[in-house]
Structure 1
Amino acid sequence: EMEKFDTDQSFLHPILSECRVFKSELELALIQYANDISSAAHVE
């Protein structure tokens, strides 16, 4: 379906990559929660 559209990934890629660098407090809390769950799975 997407093949019929012309795409230029070089335009948005740097912008989206930069956006991934900055995290909100909520994003950080969710990442920490996921890490905590993952770590707990490895504890006897």
Structure 2
Amino acid sequence: MLIFSMCDEIATNTRDYLYLWIFPEPEESVHDADVREESSE
């Protein structure tokens, strides 16, 4: 279960980064900060 949880987290992070790369937005830095806060929890 631990390995599956890690893979799921990596997949989520990869999807977020790909989304930012394909669809860059002016408020990208704000979204980045939100992602970082969620990841640190």
Bucket of the pairwise TM-score, normalised by the shorter protein: 0.3 to 0.5
Q: Which has the larger radius of gyration?
A: 1
TM-score using structure 2 length: 0.48
What's the TM-score, normalizing by structure 1?
Answer: 0.45
- Larger RCO (CA under 8 A, 6+ residues apart): 2
- Which structure has the highest helix share of the two? 2
